[in-house]
Copies of this chain bind each other. A is one copy, B any other.
Amino acid sequence: MAATIKDVARLAGVSQSSVCRALAKPEQVRPETRERVERAARDLGYYPNRAARGLITGRTANIGVVLPDLANPFFPSVVKAIQTQARLFDYAVFLGDTDEDPAVETSLIRALAKQVDGFLLCSPRASDDELRACDRELQTPIVVLNRRVSPFPAVTADSADGMRQAVGHLHALGHRRIAYVAGPRTSWSNRDRLRGLRSATSSYDMDLIEAGNVAPTVDGGAAVADLVAASPATAVIAYNDLVALGLLNRFRDREIAVPGRISVVGFDDILLAGLVTPALTTVAIAKEQIGRAGVELLLDLLGDRSPVNKRTPTQLIVRASTGPVPQ
């Protein structure tokens, strides 16, 4: 078995308390003692068992990250940033993938609750009430990413501004009729993006044609491509990049020129977006910043500082899938 604090105490010839102090608050022990303890700990390869510490201090130094689908390339970026930032503060990360199932989500949260100091819920699928119920029952701090659910602190992307940039870009290219391929009806991001888009198109006095809702995947996009092509729209904005890629694929198969006949704009700026042909014009979301800010908010919450909701900037990345309106 791995070494425990007792082993270190015995080897160093001091009590457990001293070992604990020597390692956790070195200034409280005599240098000589500290030296002995440190050597013993090193020799035995001793690392404290954080689970035991958690029982006493109520601080496990773990955070739980729950997300709908790790296969969606958006999430790994966020998780990576979370895990990197968490490590800076010596927190470890529990990961739960819910497979888009709200029931799995809440049960995962409940099961993990005792092992973590707080949760980062990425784009949670459960209803506001369900999330609040979890919170009331567990009393575990929760920060939400990519969604607003009062009363939780949240980090969201400024979709409205992203949509404004995208619509402005299309307007400048001469487009006046835009289609939107909507993501899951239950998705907060989808509603948020749609809201931003509506406001942008109306302020530019452009027509908005809404298609969908589709699954937020390549197949989802492909499924609705024909409908979009048959519409009077000369440009289409997709709920996210995967959907946009589905459109692109299907357009290519049907020999509908992009951007000659129709322009396509995605959302998220996943790695893929820059690599397909034509390269996808898309609204980039600051994924790393979202992850980092989420950790910061959670640490604020844990440190009794009051966290303030954060909105991260978005940035239109113009690539090759958008062009002047036909004729």
CB within 8 Å of B: which residues of A? 1-2, 45, 47-52, 54-55, 58, 60, 62, 65, 69-71, 73, 75-77, 79-80, 83-84, 92-97, 99, 110-115, 137-140, 218, 245, 248-249, 252, 271-272, 275-277
CA distance A71 to B54 in the complex (A): 31
Contact call B96/A83, Cβ cutoff below 8 A = yes
Q: Residue A70 contacts which of B50, B76, B271 (CB distance < 8 angstroms)?
A: B76
Contact call A73/B73, Cβ cutoff below 8 A = yes
Q: Which residues of B contact A54 (CB under 8 A)?
A: 51
Q: Which residues of B contact A77 (CB under 8 A)?
A: 70-71
Q: Residue A2 contacts which of B71, B84, B114, B271 (CB distance < 8 angstroms)?
A: B114
A-B contact pairs, 19 of them (CB 8 A): A47-B111, A47-B113, A49-B55, A51-B54, A51-B55, A55-B55, A62-B115, A69-B80, A70-B80, A70-B83, A71-B77, A71-B80, A75-B76, A79-B97, A84-B99, A93-B95, A95-B95, A252-B277, A272-B272
CA distance A307 to B84 in the complex (A): 33
Q: What 5 A-B pairs are tightest by C-beta distance, nearest first?
A: A51-B51, A277-B277, A49-B114, A45-B137, A95-B95
Q: Residue A139 contacts which of B1, B99, B139 (CB distance < 8 angstroms)?
A: B1
Q: Which residues of B contact A139 (CB under 8 A)?
A: 1-2
Q: Residue A97 contacts which of B83, B94, B99, B277 (CB distance < 8 angstroms)?
A: B83
CA distance A73 to B71 in the complex (A): 8
Contact call A80/B97, Cβ cutoff below 8 A = yes
Contact call A95/B73, Cβ cutoff below 8 A = no
Q: What is the CB-to-nearest-CB distance from A225 to chain B, in angstroms, rounded to a whole number?
A: 14
Q: A71-B77, A115-B49 are in contact. Are A92 and B96 (CB under 8 A)?
A: yes
Contact call A2/B138, Cβ cutoff below 8 A = yes
CA distance A96 to B91 in the complex (A): 11
Closest residue of chain B to A279 (Cβ to Cβ) is B249
Q: What is the CB-to-nearest-CB distance from A78 to chain B, in angstroms, rounded to a whole number?
A: 10
CA distance A113 to B76 in the complex (A): 23
Q: What is the CB-to-nearest-CB distance from A91 to chain B, in angstroms, rounded to a whole number?
A: 11
Closest residue of chain B to A93 (Cβ to Cβ) is B95
CA distance A148 to B282 in the complex (A): 41
Q: Which residues of B contact A113 (CB under 8 A)?
A: 2, 47
Contact call B99/A137, Cβ cutoff below 8 A = no
Contact call A70/B79, Cβ cutoff below 8 A = yes
CA distance A64 to B55 in the complex (A): 20
Q: What is the CB-to-nearest-CB distance from A284 to chain B, in angstroms, rounded to a whole number?
A: 15
